[in-house]
Amino acid sequence: SELVWVVGTILFTLVVAMGFTGYLLPWDQRSFWATTVGIEIADKTPLIGDFIGQFLRGGPTTGAHTINRFFVLHVMILPLSIMGLATLHIYLFRKAGPAGPYKRDHKELTKTSEYFFPRQVYKDSVAIGIVFLITCALAFYEPVELLGEATPEPGDYNPVPEWYFLFLFQLLRYETFSGEWGQIIGSIVIPAAFMVWLIAIPFIFRNPERRPWKRKFGIMTWAIILLAVAYLTYDYSITEIH
């Protein structure tokens, strides 16, 4: 079951990478500068930052080589990696067995187990179809507006990340995280520590109890994290208004 969690966490990271690499492909001011800022953050990684920046950019600055590399990552390397890990994830999930309702124990659940095909495949296909239709509807009725063509000069455009990264953007604006080391801690150390902690969860919290009200520490930890993200996002919006 630990491997199911670890593979799922890696899949989550790859999905985030898909969003980051795909963001540049429209090649407008928004995507250009968001990607430039993202690569600059990666540049700050100790020891390997320069290599990561050069690898992603394909040169000293964001340009044609960058979009070529991001395109290959977005449409070939990352999708193949996700498909391979998703297959492994399903295999490990079937081997470990589903968690099921927390009111039933493992022995009860294994008595009512069934083959993955056709029922589970049908359920997954329906869920995928619904998500696909919702995505198509949003793309058709609420299309993203393209800004001016990407240029090395921002002009009047103020680079700001999308809403799901605003909490990190706001964190880096605080005086506590000013300066070179403050930026490294806020943009690299804290997110990396969170991912390490996320992967380590099943190895640290080994209590078999699954009822939420019996896992107060875990619930409180996630509540604090979510509240912190919500507060930072809200604080950014208030700061911009004033």
Which tokens go with 193?
A: 């520590």
| pLDDT at residue 15, as a whole number | 94
Nearest to 34 by CA among 196, 147, 119: 147
Q: Is 159 helix (H, G, I), strand (E, B) or coil?
A: coil
pLDDT at residue 74 is higher than 80:
yes
Portion of the chain with pLDDT greater than 70, in percent: 92
pTM: 0.83
8 A C-beta contact, residue 78 and residue 18: yes
Nearest to 172 by CA among 65, 44, 59: 44
| pLDDT at residue 208, as a whole number | 74
Residue, of 242 and 154, whose pLDDT is higher: 154
The per-residue pLDDT for range 131-157, each reduced to its tens digit, is 999 999 999 999 888 888 888 887 677
Domains of the chain: 161-242 (1.10.287)
The per-residue pLDDT for range 83-134, each reduced to its tens digit, is 999 999 989 988 877 666 666 666 666 666 777 788 888 999 999 999 999 9
Lowest mean pLDDT among 18-22, 59-63, 127-131: 59-63
Mean pLDDT value across residues 39-48: 85
Task: Tell me the pLDDT band of 213, cut-offs 50, 70 and 90.
Answer: confident
Q: What are the phi and psi torsion angles at 28 (to 5°)? A: -110, 180
| pLDDT at residue 148, as a whole number | 82
Helices (H), 44-160: 49-57, 64-72, 78-96, 106-111, 121-141
Question: With helix as H, strand as E and coil as C, how does 175-186 read?
Answer: HHHCHHHHHHHH
Nearest to 34 by CA among 140, 169, 144, 134: 169
Q: Is 28 helix (H, G, I), strand (E, B) or coil?
A: strand
- Report the Cα–Cα distance between both ends of the chain, in Å, rounded: 48
> What element of type H or E holds 19?
helix 2-23
| pLDDT at residue 102, as a whole number | 64
- For residue 131, the number of C-alpha atoms closer than 13 Å in the C-beta half-sphere is 6
